[in-house]
Amino acid sequence: MLGLKCNAQARNQCISCSKGVRARRALICNAASNNKFFVGGNWKSNGTKESIKDLVAGLNAADFDPKHVEVVVAPTFVHLDYVNSIIDKNKFAVSSQNIWIKGTGAFTGEIAAETLQDLGIHWVITGHSERRALCNETNDVVGLKTARALELGLNVIPCVGETLEQRQSGQIFSVLDAQMKALFDRQAFIAVKDWSKVVIAYEPVWAIGTGVVATPEQAQEVHAYLRKVLGNKLGAEVASSVRILYGGSVNDKNCEELAQKEDVDGFLVGGASLQAASFETIIKAHAASR
């Protein structure tokens, strides 16, 4: 995993400082990358003020070390400010689930990156498959939104993933290529300097909300592929440091096995992130898997 300290028992050398690293990917050490295991909770269109108050109280009481895991929760737009005001910011950051492709202005019903910044929200999810499928967001729109977030200094979680039909008809890698290309097509994406600000989420559509989780081997295969695609475009050092999350029916029972896979750097969790106890177990999956 990324962000492990250089240490005496290391078997590999950091390509940045030449010290040893015990990292599974063994390219870059803590001195060069502060990226930790990452867990996001996507609350989707769920929650009332009352249920959110209880959920946040449960999360604030969760026992984990933020030195080893970065945790972000994404409530609805209208709950962002409330959650940000009551959540323990030593342990959690708050993310929006979407942004508008442009700035503030005459865009009825849309939320600009500037507005999020004004609220102290520093993360945004882009390209979630529900937005792609239900709101007709194309790869190009996802590329624009991701670039817009980066231009405004936000941290961004672009989502990619194939449908069951695409997987079964052998299109999985061409679908992922096209989704990644839309990110690479934007200057703001390829010009990123600090790759702790970009976290890619692989969310196979067939696994989202279905209870059918990808096997650890299926997740690893795609994560390794995405890392290769990143490496071809941005170089080995960037590819090694970018965190790639798995999302789709992650729960407190299956998270540990998935977290053991070399290229699984964290999770983007839907349903199970609405239960504080389950989410806490998922947050601690990385530590448990070691």
Ligand X SMILES: O=C(CO)COP(=O)(O)O
For ligand X, the binding residues (CB under 6 A) are 42, 128, 203, 208-209, 247-250, 268-272
Q: How far is the CB of 187 from ligand X (least distance, A)?
A: 27
Residue 74: strand pairing partners: 42
User: Which is closer to ligand X, CB of 29 or CB of 274?
Assistant: 274
The CB-nearest residue to ligand X is 270
Q: Give 126 or 249: the residue with its C-beta nearer to ligand X.
A: 249
Q: Which residues contact 41 (CB under 8 A, 6 or more apart)?
A: 71, 72, 73, 74, 269, 273, 274, 279
- Give the residue with the Cβ less far from ligand X, 172 or 272: 272
Burial of 170 (0-12, 13-18, 19+ CB in 10 A): exposed
Catalytic hit among 128, 137, 223, 256: 128
Q: Name which of 33 and 42 has its Cβ closer to ligand X.
A: 42
CB of 9 to ligand X, least distance (A): 36
Distance CA 172, CA 132 (A): 16
**151 an active-site residue?**
no
- Rounded to the nearest whole angstrom, what is the least distance from the CB of residue 200 to ligand X in the complex? 13
CA 252 to chain centre: 18
128 is catalytic: yes
Q: From residue 226, how far is each of 204, 215, 247, 260 by CA, in Å? A: 13, 17, 14, 18
Is residue 128 a contact partner of residue 97, using CB atoms and an 8 Å limit? yes
Q: How far is the CB of 128 from ligand X (least distance, A)?
A: 6
Catalytic residue among 203, 223, 256, 280: 203
Active site residues: 128, 203
